[in-house]
Structure 1
Amino acid sequence: MDAKELLQKVRKIEIKTRGLSQNIFAGEYHTAFKGRGVIFSEVREYQPGDDIRDIDWNVTARHNKPFVKVYEEERELTMMLLIDVSGSSDFGAVGDEKKEVIAEIAATLAFSSIQNNDKVGVIFFSDRIEKFIPPKKGKKHILLIIREIIDMKPESRGTNIDVALKFMTNALKKRCTAFLLSDFIDNHDYFSSMSIANRKHDLAAIQVYDKRDARLPDVGLVRVRDMETGADRWLDTSSAKVRKAFDKAWYERQQKLSSTVGKCGVDLASVTTDEDYVKALLALFRNRAGTRR
């Protein structure tokens, strides 16, 4: 992709996603995530109704009566985007390629964040950390991020979500809001790292997948390629047994994902490459806002 074409794509995404963030997501992001970034302010004596989890046991022991920690909302929050750039993100059979949808969702989230004067950073990952862009403010920084998303050429093709989550936990000392964008086609175990990451930060997961990831059409004998390993194989899609096995593998992967995010307390939104992701994002934001009232 030459420089002119890259700039045109960046501009196209900017126009669409900036408009969405201003006109549709105005207030939704902040309502869903406000209060999640908090800092310690002071201690005061315990009062009936206070959450016992906020008791400062050291101060309580010194004064022989209970004291609780008081927190206040940070005026400045940080958003981190963890973006899967593995080989499978290049796949697109029904609708756009997954990486194109991920790029638009990431841009919409980023523009929504800067409406509230928040910082935005990105972790690009495959089965390794491909690139880390530290959080900064401003439109210029967001456009840099969009250019990187569009023009990213990963060195590896595999997927390892565990690596990305561990990197974020170690790299960011301050609590942030984080969005993990991936198709979640990953055979590694990431339960522990997701649980730890969500305790330290405020993590949400957004799955972007193609309908052909979930179901094979009956089109006879076809050659398919694993986008991450490059391995080719022939599949007889006219075989009910083959299609059933494919459906089962997808179902088990989705069950694993649902179980993992559920046990870790992570909110999940799923969107296909041929549907409007706006509804899925709004549902994610409003669900979070509702459960945190």
Structure 2
Amino acid sequence: MAESQPVADGHVYAALQQLMLLEHRVRGLSFLSRQPLSSVLSGSHAARLRGRGLSFDELRQYNPGDDLRHLDWRASLRYGKPFVRSYTEERDRPTLLLVDQRMSMYFGSQRSFKSVLAAELAALGAWMALQAGDRVGGLVFGDRNTEYIRPLRSRARVEGLCAAIVRHNHALHATATDEDSPGQLDRALRECLAVAGHDSLIVIISDFAGVTEQTLQLLRQLNAHNDVLALLVFDPIALKLPDKGRVTVTQGELQVELEVGRRQLHRPLGEFLSGRLKDVATLLRRSQVPLMMFSSGRDSLEQLRAELGRLAVAPR
């Protein structure tokens, strides 16, 4: 009997048409430009993103109004008059979306599965980058493989990236038997490190299941020469378990249905889920990568707008 095709309803499975329509909903949004001082991307919470790089243009005589920080002292001393180095901003730069579509993402208790939310966030990020004039590409990874989409500045490339995300998303199913390849997150980060080079914007969208100390080192390496953002996707059940009812917990092929209303179960399970989320968030903050958190129980664009302008918490 042939296996039924996933129904792209935008809740359990992502729909390519819906991802493409997000193009018209991101106007005015940017990961880089004009971030307010209270933004998650600035101030005490995290260093400002570098933005596009500057390339050396020419060495010329100083003109009134030139930035004194660009004075070239060696040339000025040699010729006995002030010279400045002028720069031009690079027209574009690569934006890489690293999108998690592992089985750990195939879960949702409200609105959508984490895997679908990740697909929506990736599409929003891709459209934002294209509208900023940057090249767009990415790496989409499941439990066994990673697909690389080379960055280009074109609408067709965004569609190609979204199509790759949808392919991986539709490969997820509850009866999967080859999931949970240990270390796949780290392998995807290593591949990203190999293709990113310098001065890229890297947006990692994942639940960060399976993070290790090696993950921390890889994030720091990526962040040393690139702008990196971590978009942590979680299900609202990690913050608050329902008071009653049944929850299905899966680990590989094993699925167990739990009665969460039982007192001896409710507290330890709730503490485990919320504790894991805190542990992942703590590790990401140790990497010095700006962290945004997204619930699969809420609208993706609404949350992105809020996260981009979220007040930074001043250190005590």
Report what 1:54 is aligned to. Answer: none
Give ranges in structure 1 of 5+ residues lacking alignment: 52-58
Aligned 8 A contact 2:203 2:228 in 1: yes
Shift of 1:215: 3.5
Partner of 1:74: 90
1:170 aligns with 2:194: yes
Deviations 1:88-107 (A, max 9, x none): 22212211111211111111
In the alignment, which residue of structure 1 is the partner of 2:20? 14
Following TM superposition, by how much is the alpha carbon of 1:176 offset from its aligned partner in structure 2, in angstroms? Answer: 0.4
- Superposition deviation, residue 204 in structure 1: 0.5
The equivalent residue for 1:248 is 271
Contact 2:238–2:270 (CA under 8 A) maintained in structure 1: no
Match of residue 196 from structure 1: 221
Matches within 5 A, 1:31-42: 31-32=34-35, 35-39=50-54, 41=56
- Which has a greater percent of helix? 1
Q: State the 1:223 CA deviation.
A: 4.9
Distance 1:105 1:18 in 2: 12
Corresponding residue for 2:146? 130
TM-score under structure 2 normalisation?
0.71
Aligned equivalent of 2:303: 280
| Other-structure match for 2:290 | 267
Q: How far apart in 1 are the matches of 2:87 and 2:262? A: 60
> How far did 1:182 drift?
0.8
Residue deviations 1:202-228, cap 9 Å, x none? 1101122212244432435665323xx
Question: Which deviations, in whole Å up to 9, do the C-alpha atoms of 1:227-278 show, x marking residues without a partner?
Answer: xx12223434223232222222223322322222222221111121121222
C-alpha change, 1:31 and 1:160, in structure 2 (3 Å) is farther
Counterparts of 2:242 and 2:6, CA distance in 1: 38
RMSD: 3.7
Structure-1-length-normalised TM-score? 0.76
Paired with 1:50 and 1:247, the residues of 2 have a C-alpha distance of: 55
Aligned to 1:55: none
Q: Distance in 2 between matches of 1:115 and 1:170?
A: 26
Deviation at 1:50, TM superposition (A): 6.2
Separation in structure 1 between the aligned mates of residue 86 and residue 273 of structure 2, nearest angstrom? 46
What is the CA–CA distance in structure 1 between the aligned matches of 2:6 and 2:263, rounded to whole Å? 47
Q: 1:237 aligns with which of 260, 272, 288?
A: 260
Q: Percent identity?
A: 20
Equivalent position of 2:42 in the other structure = none
Match of residue 216 from structure 1:
241
Q: Deviations over 1:104-139 (max 9, x none)?
A: 111111111111221111111235542111111211
What residue identity is the alignment partner of 2:204?
L
Secondary structure, aligned partner of 1:94: coil
